[in-house]
Amino acid sequence: MVLKELVDLFEGPACGFRVGQFPSIDQDELFLTVALDDEEVMEAIGQEEEFPAMLSEEAYRAHICPTDDSRGGGIFRESRYGEHIDGTPHTNRYPGYVRFHLRFREILAPWNEAERIRLLRRRMRKFVKLHRLVEEGIAKQVFCAHHWHDLTKFRREKRWNDPFALLQWPSEEIPDCIQLYFGPDVAFFFHWFNAYTRWLLCPAILSMPIFLQEQVAARPMSWGGLTP
């Protein structure tokens, strides 16, 4: 009964999601998949929810798009790092955000995967308390499904989550790729951890002579077979 009501709600005009169902391998669970991929529906929900939307390059034709490398006086240096896993250019640009409205459609960037998920969850929470579904035993988990192809590109091209790249230098552009796929909350952790690693590099190098000196001084000295 609850499943039918959820499907009717998500597929109905209030949400406009694409819904699918399939059983687990052992046939004792049912997966309910919910997706938001209709552009008209996303625009309608984005405008109603006043969702923050990123400006596109078209909005900066007559202006300067800020980057993370400022020279002062409105001078920004742009760096390019190839492409993201979705094929969009990967640069150090940081365009602004505005509340989504249809009149701004021409100067807004397309929705990326993380924004679609956040928009979908915000719409779902307007009608359903997701944590209550789990607490009442109606659903075991509510989670976002990963794309194996994208995760493979992360590992092969960006060397992220690669056990053979544990000692690579924490570059500043890697959190951008993580943010595009996992969202800003997860990306901020890696951004903070990378910055923390860079900050500790010089103190770690300076502490090595002191550490070696203490280790040498702590070893007992022997003279002619006698230890003082």
Task: State pLDDT tens for residues 160-219.
Answer: 777 777 777 777 788 888 888 888 888 888 888 888 888 888 888 888 888 888 888 776
- Cα–Cα–Cα angle for 175, 124, 55, nearest 5°? 45
Across 36-159, where does the E strand assignment appear?
52-54, 70-72, 75-76, 80-83, 89-91, 97-99
Cα separation, 32 vs 20, whole angstroms: 6
Helix orientation angle between 174-182 and 184-218, rounded to the nearest 10 degrees: 140
pTM of the model: 0.74
Listed residue (46, 153, 48, 178) closest to 110, CA to CA: 46
Supply the pLDDT for residue 113. 85
Q: Please, which pLDDT band fits residue 220 given cuts at 50, 70 and 90?
A: low
Tabulate helix, strand, coil % of the chain (nearest 5): 50, 15, 35
